[in-house]
Amino acid sequence: MADSEPVTDQPIAPGEDADPDEHRSSGHAGRRRRSRGLGFLRETAIIVVSALVLSWLIKSFLVQAFFIPSASMEDTLIEGDRVMVSRLVPTVLDVHRGDVVVFKDPGGWLDPVEPVDHGPVGNAITDVMTFVGLLPQDTGEHLIKRVIGVPGDQVTCCDAEGRVSVNGVPIDEERYVKPGSEPSEVDFAVTVPDGMLFVMGDNRQNSRDSRYNTGNPGGGFVPMSNVVGTAFATVWPFDRATLLRNPGDVFAGVPEP
């Protein structure tokens, strides 16, 4: 009987798997990890996009933040304040005398403003975040003033005591006019046209408002269609956070036109 050949260990050739089941198990685990990773990225993208869309909808139809760049509304609002503005006015709710409104420049009220350059990437990020409402809108093309006259009102200044009158009734504006300011240093007498507003800043001697824009488009009046909304709260800085309430009692005695 011939001697049997000795059994020797054979080397595993490159690419050869000693255990096919182990190879399949490892492949399945890798695919599961990739699937979980893609699922996480997909869910994160959905959440981010949904949040941006929701923010844009809120900013477009409900509430928008604005930055105060000047002293024209002191002491109610000071430079650097951030305010929240209700977009329900004037589309759903009416504008009232005493409201603090944000509106687009009717034409010629503001000097040209050179935007801050953050670089191509920074500008793009700033524009996107402002568009969706994550950053406050710069008031480069907007103004913020207080409504003194609504359509049909006769607004005049000044009576013997230096007060502004609306429809023949003098109003006491100490509630909001900056201490030390006169109600107006110039005389005027206007009737507010339909679809327009007559507005003034609370810092009367430092406000380019309806009184000083009679030679510009609209004759110094603000078209209702230019109104973005009414400011209802100061939210930044935190130590100035407060609600901006309409001083309705100031105009309580004013008759309708």
Residues labelled as active-site residues: 72, 145
What is the rounded CA–CA span in Å between residue 216 and residue 82?
A: 28
DSSP string, 45-97: HHHHHHHHHHHHHHHHHTEEEEE--SSTTTTTS-TT-EEEEETTTTTTS---T
What is the rounded CA–CA span in Å between residue 249 and residue 257?
A: 18
Residue type at 216 in one-letter notation: N
The β-bridge partners of 102 are 144, 229
Nearest-CA neighbor of 66 among 144, 126, 132, 125?
Answer: 144
Task: Kindly report the backbone phi and psi dihedral angles of residue 178, in degrees, each rounded to the nearest multiple of 5, phi listed first.
Answer: -55, 130
The β-bridge partners of 147 are 199
Residue type at 55 in one-letter notation: S
